[in-house]
Structure 1
């Protein structure tokens, strides 16, 4: 089980993680939460679900490339210049959907942090703990793993699979190497979690 998810009887999945892996995952999830930003905790919209439903979000795409990858425009092709009509549609769509999408992504990352905080590692450096996730927790982890890979991919400027393949061949002294290793490791976790949920 070390390093990859396996299905649990009755649903969900489990993975064995050591102290370093837990620390890296937790740190990445916390950084993702900081990137996404805080939720709406003040004002009438925070207490009133109906007001939250009609609260308007931003209408312009984020300037940060990682956030732009997490919150892409709904109209037009990625990376292509939008015409005026596509820009107007994308702006309107973003205004009414981005707050909910941010809430979901924030919830997924928080779910990851909470499940990692619930693990107890006892013993030496090579001690592992088995993280057991319910089906709902698996959904949160899938969302968070995907968001982490999108974010790191944006920082690495990964735009397609061919460029992703070049990452495997980076020399050890390349300063991007640790980020690449995290990107590939998260991809493996994501892939085995999907396989576990699909029945192995």
Structure 2
């Protein structure tokens, strides 16, 4: 079946996408990379130790999708905002780099896939690639879920699942559900189910 992960013969996972699926997945990932923004280029003359301990932002992102990808580390409480700012300052740059690396691995995987029958893209992922793909798929779902305002409320979720075809959110919802299927089947492969 096209569009779902399967165990690969020599470990890792394989995935066969039709041309439209590959294009959609690549496009969504490139859009997420644009949302994440470019990586800060370190000053070549800077002290390597100083670059290692460079401080990141201390305020949460204004964009709701980015705020979901980079949530506050501490919940409610007297000192929560201060602790969250300090935690963010020392972790967000590395987390952002990891998310970029995951997304780039997904794009490179699609671009490097072999051509199969009927224009399909056949991918064979090693275990390390699977971890990158799993991270990128999770980030894509979090981003789309935020844009769609997916919540834990069963009635609201049911309404999103039953969007009429003319609703402009319908393609995003279909992509959200498909990404969930990809994520679930990749997890199954990695767990040996």
Calculate the TM-score normalised by the size of structure 1: 0.90
The one-character-per-residue Cα deviations of 1:47-95 (angstroms, maximum 9, x if unpaired) are: 82x323210000000010000000000000xxxxx44400010000000
1:26 & 1:83 partners in 2: Cα distance?
41
Aligned to 2:56: 57
Aligned to 2:149: 157
* 2:22/2:121 contact within 8 Å kept: no
Q: Does 1:90 align with 2:89?
A: no
Structure 2 stretches lacking a partner, 5+ long: none
CA RMSD for the aligned pairs?
Answer: 1.8
1:171 & 1:94 partners in 2: Cα distance?
40
The one-character-per-residue Cα deviations of 1:94-128 (angstroms, maximum 9, x if unpaired) are: 000000000000000000011111124366xx432
Structure 1 stretches lacking a partner, 5+ long: 77-81
* 2:64/2:146 contact within 8 Å kept: yes
Q: 1:101 aligns with which of 95, 102, 127?
A: 95
Q: 1:138 aligns with which of 114, 130, 133?
A: 130
Q: 2:192 aligns with which of 179, 182, 199?
A: 199
Runs of 4+ with deviation above 4 angstroms: 44-47
Aligned to 1:26: 26
* 1:45/1:51 contact within 8 Å kept: no
Shift of 1:46: 7.6
Calculate the TM-score normalised by the size of structure 2: 0.93
1:40 & 1:114 partners in 2: Cα distance?
21
Number of corresponding residues: 192
* 2:99/2:136 contact within 8 Å kept: yes
* 1:26/1:116 contact within 8 Å kept: yes
